[in-house]
Structures are given as C-alpha cells and as structure tokens.
C-alpha cells in the first residue's frame, strides 16, 4: 500500500525564522509566568534558565530546531500541552516548581495514561498488556470518569487513553473526553483500528487533542507480521489520513527492535512519516515485559548508540528541517532519569493496577481503592524507575557528558546506508 496525502496537511512543521520568532515569544511568556511565581527577577531568570537547560539535555544539549502547529496552537510533543493555553501555563508552573518552590497552582501529575479496555483485535509482538488482553474490563465508563476526575481535581495536564485498543470502545472514549476537555488535553493511543473519518471527527468534536498511532515498520508486510494482523498497516495508514482531515495532532509510535534497527530502516521510516504529514515520531526501545517477557529484546550498546546518533542528527540537521520531530525517551532516561514512575507520568493498566509505567509493572496500588476512598491520588507512590531512576527534581545539566556527532560524516553514512539521494 503506497501512502498518498489527498489534501493539504492539517498540521505544519515550524522551522527556520518562524521557529526562532516562536522561541523569543516563548521566552517572554516563560518570564511572565516565572515573575508571577517568584518575587525577584533574579530568581525568575534562574528558574527559566534551569528549565531551558533541562529541556536542552532531553533534546541532546540543543534546542529543537522545529515544532508543529495545528490550528492556532504550537506543539512540542504529545506530552507537552499546546501553546498558548492555560493548560500549557499550568504545566510550566509545575516544571518551575521542580527548580524553585512557589505558591502558584501546579499539577500533581502531568500525564495520566489509563487503559480503558483490555479488548483488542491484534496480537502484537511486543504487547505489554498481553497477560490482560480480552478479559473483562474492571471499570464501567462512569467509574473511569470518576477516577480520571480525581486526578484532574488534584491537578493534571493530560490524559492519554490506551488499551487494549481504546477505539473499540468509541462511545466510552468520547464520553471520557467530553467530561474533561478542554481544561485537560486528551490523546488516544491506537493501532488505527476503527479510526474512520467519522470517528476521527467525533474525537475532535468531543475535545480530543490528538492521536498516537502505532506504526512499527515502513514496510507493510513487516508491520502486519509484527502486529499479528493482515490489516494492521491499513489501519495505521488510514488512521493517519483520517486524523489529518479531522484536525487532530498526529504522532507515530515505533518500537525499535533488533530486526528493525538500521540506518536504512530509520531513514525510510522518517521519509514515510514526513510524507504522511505527522508532527511527531516516538522511538521506543523494546522491554522484556508482557509478550516480550523473558525474551532477549534489550538493545545492545552499539544499537543504542546508533539510535541516539540518529535521534540527535534528524532533529538538529538543517537537511531534515521540515521532517516530524523525533522523540526518544531512552535518550533522556540515561541522562536525567525517567519522567514516569509517578514523577510526571503514571500508568493504570487494563486490569486496574497502578504502575510506574507500562513497562515497569510493579503494581504499586489498585485503582479500585480510589473508588472507595481508601486511596487518595496525592498518596500514590510507585517508587523510582528500577532501570533509570526518577527524573531529577533539581538539575545540573552542565555536569552531564555531551554526545558529539559530526554532521557531514554522519549524513554521508546515512546516505550510503539508505541508498537514497536527498
């Protein structure tokens, strides 16, 4: 199946002078927020600088050269609320509080990821919900609304609805979104199954911000094999096309396995993502959990280095200035710790267990206890990430080692490996 955009993309990649202008606008806005939080100019400036250095380390010790615009808002990733918005401002105040205490309202949690069903028609190779699939759902729609509302009342920037395949429960998804939008942003993790144009428009009308669609290979047969369905690639491609028409922010999620990892495949995937008009691509390392339990799926050091080099290069090289923004959690996890583990993000699985993240399935608590009042949202503690630790609340980016890549030589290697011309 060859992908063709049938209409002008609903989102635009912002780069060059437009991005520089946006950076100045952002800096002024950040200072305005900082001055509302702190008494002195000196403290406000120091906190803004700390946050900027932190974000630069996450991005490879540099500012991102591009971002995305959908409608009247700018987006820097599916885990950061769109700018300008009140949700973005509260998100920033929460991040400021990690570098210096203040008394302005903040979020208790930045992102709640919650599996709203265990139902799924696919049989994905890497599924971390494998042991829970297609069992009876533990919560009704009203109970899910209650749980999410408790997190929102404590302060929450975003809700990410997952599964299973959440769009199998389309009415439930829309009802959950309507209950919390627009004060809270909503994203849907999906394979693209059931993401028809009608349903994409229903999501947008309900108040959804965007979708994160799983596409694990640029080649149709490879993706279908990985996802255990002959229609998986069709679902993903049509889902992107319909989301674009509906005006949803679009991200792709790629599980980078041993079998996939090569410069050729990364380059081909990036080209397809650009052609599809998505704003973001999330690179996830496979973890030995769920269907991958007890499997040798962890990337080798040389594979991690290749992926880190690609991540830095495609986000920083002017040659790729109009490509989607690439996100690679593994990169910043090795440098500043994990942003999940209840630090910024929390996960509730399809069996109702509260986990540090989808991969660290420590079952720290049961979400049912939120329903009967035995557990309060502010008392949830999952413990630090066992692999990377918890993301720093204080920051010393200048002490972290820098990874250098020679742009020209790396571009030459990328061209040779991909066998493609610019």
SS3 173: helix
Instruction: Tell me the average pLDDT across 35-47.
Output: 96
Cis peptide preceding 55, ω within 30 of 0: no
pLDDT of residue 173: 98
184 token code pair: 């809270």
- Domains of the chain are 104-418 (3.20.20.70)
pLDDT of residue 6: 52
pLDDT of residue 412: 62
Could you tell me where the DSSP H helices lie in 86-182?
86-96, 141-154, 170-180
Note whether 117 and 168 are within 8 A (CB): yes
pLDDT of residue 111: 96
Instruction: Tell me the average pLDDT across 120-133.
Output: 95
Could you tell me where the DSSP H helices lie in 247-328?
263-276, 301-316
More confident residue, 60 or 302: 302
Residue 144 has pLDDT above 80, yes or no: yes
Note whether 143 and 124 are within 8 A (CB): no
**350-381 residue pLDDT tens:** 999 999 888 888 888 999 999 999 999 989 88
45 token code pair: 């400036």
Residue 276 has pLDDT above 90, yes or no: yes
Note whether 47 and 40 are within 8 A (CB): no
Residue 99 has pLDDT above 70, yes or no: yes
Backbone angles phi, psi at 143, to 5 degrees: -70, -40
pLDDT of residue 416: 59
Backbone angles phi, psi at 325, to 5 degrees: -75, 130
Share of the chain above pLDDT 90, in %: 77
**80-98 residue pLDDT tens:** 999 999 999 999 999 999 9
Instruction: Return the minimum-mean-pLDDT range out of 206-220, 296-310, 346-360.
Output: 346-360
**169-202 residue pLDDT tens:** 999 999 999 999 999 999 999 999 999 999 999 9
pLDDT of residue 401: 39
pLDDT of residue 363: 86
Classify each residue of 69-84 as buried b or exposed e, where b means 16 or more C-beta atoms within 10 Å of its C-beta: bbeeebbbbbbbbbbe
Instruction: Return the minimum-mean-pLDDT range out of 78-92, 104-118, 245-259, 349-363.
Output: 349-363
136 DSSP 8-state letter: P
More confident residue, 338 or 106: 106
Cβ contacts of residue 301 below 8 Å, gap of 6+? none
Does pTM top 0.85 for this prediction?
A: yes
Residue 236 has pLDDT above 70, yes or no: yes
More confident residue, 392 or 308: 308
Cβ contacts of residue 399 below 8 Å, gap of 6+? none
From 160, 169, 163, 161, select the one nearest 127 (Cα to Cα): 163
To 10 degrees, what angle do helices 263-276 and 407-418 make? 90
Residue 399 has pLDDT above 50, yes or no: no
Classify each residue of 369-396 as buried b or exposed e, where b means 16 or more C-beta atoms within 10 Å of its C-beta: ebeeeebebeebebebbeebebbbeebe
Residue 393 has pLDDT above 70, yes or no: no
pLDDT of residue 87: 97
Across the chain, mean pLDDT equals: 90
Residue 419 has pLDDT above 50, yes or no: no
From 186, 180, 240, 193, select the one nearest 209 (Cα to Cα): 186
Exposed/middle/buried for residue 3 (C-beta within 10 Å: 0-12, 13-18, 19+): middle
Note whether 33 and 89 are within 8 A (CB): yes
β-strand pairing of 280-284 with 325-327: parallel
CA-CA distance, 210 to 207, in Å (whole number)?
9
Classify each residue of 267-297 as buried b or exposed e, where b means 16 or more C-beta atoms within 10 Å of its C-beta: bbbbebbeebbbbbbbbbbbbebbbbeeeeb
Please calculate the CA angle 227-231-233 and round it to the nearest 5 degrees. Answer: 70
Residue 384 has pLDDT above 80, yes or no: no
Distances (CA, A) of 155 to 78, 107, 109, 402: 18, 4, 6, 35
- What is the number of residues in the chain? 422
Cβ contacts of residue 201 below 8 Å, gap of 6+? 245, 246
Instruction: Tell me the average pLDDT across 5-9.
Output: 54
Render 91-103 in DSSP notation, one character per residue: HHHHHHTTTS---
pLDDT band at 9 (very low <50, low <70, confident <90, very high): low
Instruction: Tell me the average pLDDT across 113-119.
Output: 97
Residue 398 has pLDDT above 70, yes or no: no
Residue 408 has pLDDT above 70, yes or no: no
119 token code pair: 């139902």
pLDDT of residue 8: 53
Residue 146 has pLDDT above 80, yes or no: yes
pLDDT band at 57 (very low <50, low <70, confident <90, very high): confident
Classify each residue of 201-212 as buried b or exposed e, where b means 16 or more C-beta atoms within 10 Å of its C-beta: bbbbebbbbbbb
């Amino acid at each position: 199946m060859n992908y063709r955009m049938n209409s002008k993309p609903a989102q635009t990649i912002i780069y060059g002078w437009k991005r520089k202008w946006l950076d100045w606008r952002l800096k002024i806005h950040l200072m305005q927020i900082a001055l509302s939080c702190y008494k002195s100019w000196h403290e406000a400036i120091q906190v803004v600088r700390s946050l900027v250095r932190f974000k630069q380390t996450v991005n490879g010790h540099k500012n991102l050269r591009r971002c995305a615009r959908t409608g009247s808002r700018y987006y820097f990733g599916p885990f950061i609320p769109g700018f300008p918005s009140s949700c973005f401002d509260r998100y920033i105040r929460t991040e400021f509080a990690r570098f210096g205490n203040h008394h302005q309202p903040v979020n208790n949690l930045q992102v709640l990821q919650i599996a709203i069903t265990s139902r799924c028609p696919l049989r994905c190779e890497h599924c971390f919900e494998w042991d829970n699939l297609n069992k009876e759902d533990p919560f009704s729609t009203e109970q899910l609304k209650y749980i999410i509302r408790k997190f929102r009342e404590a302060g929450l920037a975003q809700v990410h609805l997952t599964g299973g395949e959440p769009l199998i429960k389309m009415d439930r998804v829309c009802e959950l979104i309507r209950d919390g939008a627009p004060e809270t942003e909503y994203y849907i993790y999906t394979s693209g199954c059931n993401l028809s144009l009608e349903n994409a428009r229903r999501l947008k009308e309900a108040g959804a911000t965007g979708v994160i669609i799983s596409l694990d290979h640029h080649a149709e047969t490879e993706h279908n094999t990985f996802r255990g369905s002959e229609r998986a690639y069709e679902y993903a491609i049509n889902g992107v096309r319909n989301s674009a028409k509906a005006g949803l922010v679009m991200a792709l999620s790629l599980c980078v396995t041993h079998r996939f990892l090569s410069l050729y495949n990364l380059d081909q995937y990036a080209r397809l993502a650009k052609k599809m008009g998505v704003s973001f691509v999330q690179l996830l390392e496979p973890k030995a959990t769920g269907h991958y339990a007890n499997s040798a799926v962890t990337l080798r050091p040389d594979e991690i280095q290749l992926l880190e080099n690609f991540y830095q290069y495609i986000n920083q090289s002017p040659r790729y200035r109009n490509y989607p923004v690439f996100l690679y959690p593994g990169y910043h996890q090795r440098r500043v710790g994990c942003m999940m583990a209840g630090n910024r993000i929390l996960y509730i699985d399809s069996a109702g267990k509260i986990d540090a993240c989808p991969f660290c399935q420590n079952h720290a608590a049961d979400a049912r206890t939120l329903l009967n009042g035995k557990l309060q949202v502010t008392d949830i503690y999952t413990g630090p990430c066992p692999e990377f630790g918890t993301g720093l609340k204080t920051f010393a980016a200048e002490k972290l080692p820098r990874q250098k890549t020679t742009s020209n030589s790396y571009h030459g290697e990328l061209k040779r490996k991909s066998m493609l011309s610019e």
